[in-house]
Amino acid sequence: MDYGWIMIVPVLGGALAGAAMLIWWERRLLGFWQDRLGPNRVGPFGLLQIVADIVKLFTKDDWVPPFADRVVFILAPTAIMAGMLMAFAVVPFGPGLHVIDLNIGLLFFLAMISLAVYGVLLGGLSSNNKYSLLGGLRSAAQMVTYEVFMGLSIMGVVLLTGSFNMSEIVRAQEDVWFVVPQILGFFVFLLAGIAESHRLPFDLPEAEHELAGGFHTEYSGMKFGLIMVGEYLGVILVSAMITTLFFGGWLAPGFLPPISILGPELEGVFWFSLKTTFFVCFFVLLRAGIPRPRYDQLMSLGWKILLPITLINLLATGAIALFIAEGG
Amino acid sequence: MWSHVRTLWEVLKHTFSRNETVQYPEEMPYLAPRYRGRIILTRDPDGEERCVACNLCAVVCPVDCIALEKTEGEDGRWLPEFFRINFSRCIMCGMCEEACPTYAIQLTPDFELCEFNRDNMVYEKEHLLIDGVGKYPGYSFWQIAGKTIAGKDKGEAQGECEPVDVKDLLP
């Protein structure tokens, strides 16, 4: 069953609500891991903190620095947001629950998430500020490093499935999740995903301890809000992609009986959300625990270790797939 | 790499540890008796002011928030004419307390110094003086010092010898 365009509404609403929730949830979780309480004042469990933050961002002075490249400066946050939201179109949230069932879904995801990086890059460049420029520079260096092995790391999954279609990839995992045969691909994609959503420990373009805020130093008001929501969307998106590609997407763990009261579609959404939430929490845990490397360290890690690992993984997967296809 | 994994595990264990922070306005944190907060001026056990207006606190104060002027009482005691602390400058460093030779100026564990009007942060002597001895219950400066005041002549202070008659030849 295909719901088609009507799915835009729940996907858009869900993704934005999730990203907004993450503002609160990340701070709360960081609080617990640092032995404090986190924001718990506004509303039950501090949930209305989201509303307070949004009201604050909307009422802030929306200032464009006079020395900035005005057009690019305004367009850059939009590029981040649009790229991330577009990529959500191909994510299958349950059986048949996707905005569009592209047969090149995975390539579309890679293309869109790369577009979002342009927002970071152009935002840093157009701010015309040395900290922002350094942030944009790092973002460019980071991009050429991880985009290579990010694309290659999921080719193993494509090889095993024989399709770029996301729903096909999930259905191919009914026997065993791809995290088992593609464990190397999973680790590499996880690292690339952290770098992609420029989250700690790979938040080098932002690096508020060294660059005052990096590429978004000059941004204020809702333009900054867009960048921030874009970042949280990236976290959710990468978590959703990890779930889809390596952890069986909407499929329940095989040993569990189906939850009959929900029906197959809601059950799919339930398992998908559960797995995605797990990885979102893992992202926050990384922020709580791991220090940031220098960007030459990140680049040498990417080119000298992760890229060879990915290539070996791809080669081995290809050889095995060929061996099986030849009737082994 | 292994140390990073271990770091993550150690951080994750904090999910189940107690919070170090407290919900401040509802639940007050414990403050040690010698916590450095709002400054007070204490009195002797007999109820008179301890401060002798020596100005040492004003001299040692790194932000110059203390101002006072000496006067002399009818009984011969020295005491401040006025004693003014500007709490919007005070950094609660406690150096005035250390400098004070008479234990008059002391810091208390009260840190809630908030006013809507900045002028109200300037405390005068009547705001600073308390009706107690503070941290040093038995101490009475004027009963130890050698200076003559009404009701206590030379040689009558605690541990003080009779004054030597310099015109007497006898040993």
Residues B19-26 have a mean pLDDT of: 84
For residue A259, what pLDDT is reported? 67
A133-164 tens-digit pLDDT: 888 888 888 888 888 888 888 888 888 888 88
Q: Give a yes or no: residue A165 inside a domain.
A: yes
- Answer whether A32 touches B (CB < 8 Å): yes
A97-119 tens-digit pLDDT: 777 888 888 889 888 888 888 88
Strands B122-123 and B78-86: antiparallel
With residue A280 as reference, give the H or E element that holds it.
Answer: helix A263-289
**Bridge partners of B40?**
B106
Q: Give a yes or no: residue A95 inside a domain.
A: yes
Asked whether residue A60 carries a pLDDT value surpassing 90, the answer given is no
Asked whether residue A291 carries a pLDDT value surpassing 90, the answer given is no
**Nearest residue in A to B14, CA atom:** A33
Dihedral-angle region of residue B47 (phi above 0 means left; psi in -120 to 50 means alpha; beta otherwise): left
Q: Is A36 in contact with B20 (Cβ distance < 8 A)?
A: yes
Q: Say what the pTM is.
A: 0.80
Quote the mean pLDDT of chain A: 85
Of the CA atoms within 13 Å of residue A17, those in its CB half-sphere come to 7
For residue A179, what pLDDT is reported? 81
pLDDT confidence tier of residue B39, bands split at 50, 70 and 90: very high
Residues A277-293 have a mean pLDDT of: 88
Helices within B24-140 (DSSP H only)? 56-60, 95-99, 125-128
**Nearest residue in A to B9, CA atom:** A289
DSSP A22-84: HHHHHHHHHHHHTTS--S-SSSGGGTTHHHHHHHHHHHS-----TTS-HHHHHHHHHHHHHHH
Distance CA A73, CA A75 (A): 6
Residues in chain A with CB shorter than 8 Å from the CB of B3 are none
- Select from A32, A34, A290 the Cβ nearest to the Cβ of B7: A290
pLDDT confidence tier of residue B58, bands split at 50, 70 and 90: very high
ipTM of the predicted structure? 0.73
H, E, C per residue of A229-271: HHHHHHHHHHHHHHHHHHCCCCCCCCCCCCCCCCHHHHHHHHH
Residues A13-40 have a mean pLDDT of: 87
Q: Give a yes or no: residue A184 inside a domain.
A: yes
Q: Give a yes or no: residue A172 inside a domain.
A: yes
| Number of structural domains found in chain A | 1
With residue B116 as reference, give the H or E element that holds it.
Answer: none
- Which structure tokens are listed for A229? 């929501």
Separation in Å, CA of A31 to nearest CA in chain B? 9
Q: Give a yes or no: residue A60 inside a domain.
A: yes
Residue range(s) defining the domain that contains residue A105: 4-323
- Answer whether A33 touches B (CB < 8 Å): yes
- Answer whether A297 touches B (CB < 8 Å): no
Q: Give a yes or no: residue A152 inside a domain.
A: yes
Q: Is A286 in contact with B8 (Cβ distance < 8 A)?
A: yes
3-state helix, strand, coil in chain A (%, to 5): 70, 0, 30
Burial class (CB in 10 A: 0-12, 13-18, 19+), B169: exposed
**Nearest residue in B to A289, CA atom:** B8
- Select from B7, B8, B19 the Cβ nearest to the Cβ of A36: B19
For residue B89, what pLDDT is reported? 92
Q: Give a yes or no: residue A328 inside a domain.
A: no
For residue A168, what pLDDT is reported? 84
